[in-house]
Amino acid sequence: MTDIRDDVVAGFESAYGRGPVGIWSAPGRVNLIGEHTDYNEGFVLPFAINRRTVVALGPRDDTLVRVASEYADELAEIALDQLAPERLRDWSAYPLGVAWALGQFGADLAAVPGVDIYIESTVPVGAGLSSSAAIESAVAVALNDVWQLGLDPQTLARVGQLAENKAVGAPTGIMDQSAALLGRRDHAVFLDCRSLESELVDLGFARAGLEVLIIDTGVAHDHATGGYAERRASCEAGARTLGVESLRDVGIDDLARAREVLDDVTFRRVRHVVTENQRVLDTVRVLRSQGPTAIGELLDASHVSMRDDFEISVPELDLAVETAQANGAIGARMTGGGFGGAAIALVPSEGVSRIQVAIDGAFAEHGFGQPTTFTVTAADGAGRD
């Protein structure tokens, strides 16, 4: 297998007829726990994974920004002074949206050179592993270096989020970009989405002989429309009715009152967010005090909450989780925004293949399309390669 870094240089050369000045990359991420808490100013615990989006970049003599990707047939281009969210569409809205968003965070787009960008990735698209934040973060660190902007990783995370919110039009939170930019090998990023303060938490998976199995159901999700925006609106409505700025301000003890003043659906949406925040705090505490083999019940409870209260699971995700649990996983849950995508299972290394076989069998038995399963490790965040 050739290295993706060789591929991205070859791709750059064939797209632009010259070599790049450098290569940058950013990882996909898995959220260990803390789902739909980010935009409620709560807590999340993602980790960067050993699958990356790699960007080769070369500055230009003019003001054009051109982007090409092995993912897409056509090259997209726009002049720096034409960058605006409403002019960007399709996949190129991610990288070009980042260029625009850097301008919103102080980059003087009239003073920087145009660039040619070529992108390759080993992060599967639409699997809940945030290929979108990987591409945004890889482009953000590359432009930050080449344009000598000196923005810190926390700010670059907000740049990526702004690009996704405004240029792509997906109302997502700050979690994915934070994991992609701040992650570290064998650690998770414990992120407070209100203060944006983060701490690395030692996962200890390798020491404990544990692996994280990703079960990509292959069921497509679409965050730009539908369920995600609707859940977000429910959370905002719940907070409004409860008289708080965000659901971060609601604790477990407030749920009894919430049940009285909210309609049933809104109450269950709120209960998911409130209990999920608590589960993130508990997971961090248990990781530090007892180690990773003790977090299984928290992962399992998170899935039940998403399935029954937030109602963002699908039968394929439920089956993946139940089959993993029944075949020796320490814990399992769907991960990502929901309505498809992937589940994760924390599994003793020697039990991985047994669970994979069991899941393949269960999916076949239910007449579901075959899922893709693979293990990931916690890896370093974005940077220059």
59 binds ligand ADP (CB under 6 A): no
Q: How far is the CB of 101 from Mg ion (least distance, A)?
A: 16
For ligand ADP, the binding residue among 22, 72, 365, 366 (CB under 6 A) is 72
Per the DSSP assignment, residues forming a β-bridge with 210 are: 348
Residue 325 — φ and ψ, nearest 5°?
-60, -40
State how far the Cα of 95 lies from the Cα of 374, in Å rounded to an integer: 27
Nearer CB in complex with Mg ion: 132/323 = 132
For residue 25, give every residue at least 6 positions away whose Cβ sits within 8 Å of its Cβ, in sequence order, or none: 52, 53, 54, 55, 138, 382, 383, 385
The window from 81-89, 117-125, 147-155, 373-381 that contacts ligand ADP (CB under 6 A) reads 117-125
State how far the Cα of 116 lies from the Cα of 15, in Å rounded to an integer: 9
Nearer CB in complex with ligand ADP: 201/344 = 344
Q: How far is the CB of 71 from ligand ADP (least distance, A)?
A: 3
The window from 125-133, 183-191, 338-346, 368-376 that contacts Mg ion (CB under 5 A) reads 125-133
Long-range Cβ contact pairs of 290-296 (< 8 A, separation 24 or more): 291/204, 291/208, 292/203, 292/204, 292/205, 292/208, 292/210, 292/330, 292/346, 293/208, 293/210, 293/330, 295/33, 295/330, 295/331, 295/346, 296/329, 296/330, 296/331, 296/346
For ligand ADP, the binding residue among 6, 22, 60, 71 (CB under 6 A) is 71
31 binds ligand ADP (CB under 6 A): no
For ligand ADP, the binding residue among 37, 40, 132, 198 (CB under 6 A) is 132
Indicate if 145 belongs to the active site: no
What is the footprint of ligand ADP within residues 193-232 (CB under 6 A)? 223
Would you name the residues annotated as active-site residues? 176
Residues in touch with ligand ADP (CB under 6 A): 53, 69, 71-72, 91, 94, 119, 121, 125-132, 135, 223
